């Protein structure tokens, strides 16, 4: 008997993602990978996987899935997101960062993505999909990775590596903040020499709104336009993660996981690596501003995020019928986080 998940409804933009393929950029291959690597890693930790195991990424509207395996351990990660599970013995709601064992014929809907922005469904043992250039991440534009290099469709069958969840243990993760950000920390000035100090100061004082043009490649930011007079023009350079570029219309674009490897638009700032996962949660209509930090602070923030993930604990739910955890209470604990989510910086 094979083990798989069958897609009943695909959702809006549902793809398989892992941590991407960072070592082929000199061939023009985008890194891709999860928009929110922190949520991906957390989902994997909760089901007992390696942190970089490929999972299902979803935005706006999540998929509905039927279990075609004896059993499988799954968990959804995304602030406020939940699994709506229908099985022969009724219906349950499983909150974010909690793993649940599903059995053949169970149906699960991924819901509550409004708040999360992006969420990840991890399965114990991972999906039996072939890596392309070292990664299972889907890059739709070139048809690489995932399921035939495309977004997940109705009727897709995603084979599982493990026939059942015999080894899997249900548990609840705690201590990671996956909220959508209102502030992102950036390096600007040090690396923003494409622009004048005045332009950088204006950028840092500005309030932006994520426009409707938002996808895995980037987010257009409404609010302020930047005069590129004097900015370096035309000669393409390699693009770094978190780059905020300014195209000829002056409207900044925050580049994300599917960004091209090279580009000619000048960059006004870079979101620091500790906050790139949070930038992955942004969705159209979100208000966002940027706070400058130094390189040393950026690296310290990254170390702090890595520490938070390393300390992210999973409490085993060893009692049948454990009461549902109050998700809001869990989030409020917010034990450790290196990601600036509020206005504190």
As measured in angstroms, the least distance from the Cβ of 248 to another protein is 12
Q: What is the DSSP letter of 79?
A: T
As measured in angstroms, the least distance from the Cβ of 191 to another protein is 5
| DSSP string over 94-139 | EETTBEEEEETT-EEEEE-HHHHSEEEEEETT-B----BTTB---B
Which of residues 27 and 329 has its CB atom nearest to another protein in the complex?
27
Burial readout 206-228 (b: 16 or more C-beta within 10 A, e: otherwise): eebebeeebebbbbbbbbeebeb
Which of residues 28 and 230 has its CB atom nearest to another protein in the complex?
28
Q: Which of 342, 254, 316 has the alpha carbon at shortest distance from 98?
A: 316
What is the CB neighbour count within 10 angstroms for residue 290?
Answer: 24
Distances, alpha carbon 40 to alpha carbons 25, 110, 161, 308, 315, in Å: 22, 15, 18, 14, 18
Cα-Cα-Cα-Cα dihedral sign, residues 163, 143, 275, 76:
negative
What is the CB neighbour count within 10 angstroms for residue 335?
Answer: 13
Which of residues 31 and 121 has its CB atom nearest to another protein in the complex?
31
As measured in angstroms, the least distance from the Cβ of 152 to another protein is 20
Which of residues 80 and 266 has its CB atom nearest to another protein in the complex?
266
Which of residues 169 and 201 has its CB atom nearest to another protein in the complex?
201
As measured in angstroms, the least distance from the Cβ of 192 to another protein is 10
As measured in angstroms, the least distance from the Cβ of 317 to another protein is 33
As measured in angstroms, the least distance from the Cβ of 189 to another protein is 5
Which of residues 6 and 302 has its CB atom nearest to another protein in the complex?
302
Question: Binding residues for another protein, per CB under 8 A?
Answer: 22-30, 132-133, 141-144, 187, 189-191, 193, 232, 235-243, 260-263, 267, 270-273, 292, 294-295, 298-299, 302-303, 306
């Amino acid at each position: 008997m094979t083990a798989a998940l069958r897609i009943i409804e695909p959702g809006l933009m549902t793809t398989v993602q892992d941590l991407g393929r960072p070592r082929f950029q000199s061939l023009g291959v985008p890194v891709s990978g999860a928009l929110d690597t922190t949520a991906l890693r957390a989902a994997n930790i909760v089901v007992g996987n390696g942190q970089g195991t490929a999972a299902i990424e979803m935005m706006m509207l999540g998929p509905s899935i039927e279990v075609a395996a004896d059993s499988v351990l799954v968990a959804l990660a995304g602030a406020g997101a939940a699994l709506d599970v229908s099985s022969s013995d009724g219906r349950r709601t499983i909150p974010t960062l909690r793993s649940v064992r599903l059995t053949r014929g169970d149906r699960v809907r991924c819901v509550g993505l409004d708040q999360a922005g992006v969420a990840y469904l991890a399965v114990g043992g991972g999906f039996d999909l072939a890596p392309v250039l070292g990664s299972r991440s889907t890059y739709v534009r070139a048809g690489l990775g995932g399921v035939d290099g495309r977004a997940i469709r109705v009727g897709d069958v995603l084979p599982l590596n493990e026939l059942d969840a015999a080894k899997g243990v249900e548990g609840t993760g705690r201590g990671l903040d996956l909220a959508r950000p209102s502030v992102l920390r950036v390096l600007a000035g040090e690396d923003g020499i494409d622009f004048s100090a005045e332009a950088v100061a204006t950028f840092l004082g500005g309030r932006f709104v994520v426009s409707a043009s938002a996808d895995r490649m980037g987010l257009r930011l409404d609010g302020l336009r930047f005069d590129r007079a004097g900015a370096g023009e035309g000669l393409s350079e390699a693009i770094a993660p978190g780059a905020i570029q300014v195209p000829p219309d002056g409207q900044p674009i925050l580049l994300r996981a599917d960004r091209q490897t090279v580009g000619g638009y000048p960059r006004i700032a870079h979101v620091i690596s500790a906050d790139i996962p949070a930038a992955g949660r942004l969705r159209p209509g979100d208000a966002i501003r940027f706070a400058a930090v130094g390189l040393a602070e950026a690296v310290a923030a990254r170390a702090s995020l890595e520490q938070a993930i390393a300390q992210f604990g999973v409490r085993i739910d060893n009692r049948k019928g454990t009461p549902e955890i109050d998700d809001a209470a869990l989030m409020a604990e917010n034990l450790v986080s290196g990601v600036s989510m509020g206005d504190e910086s």
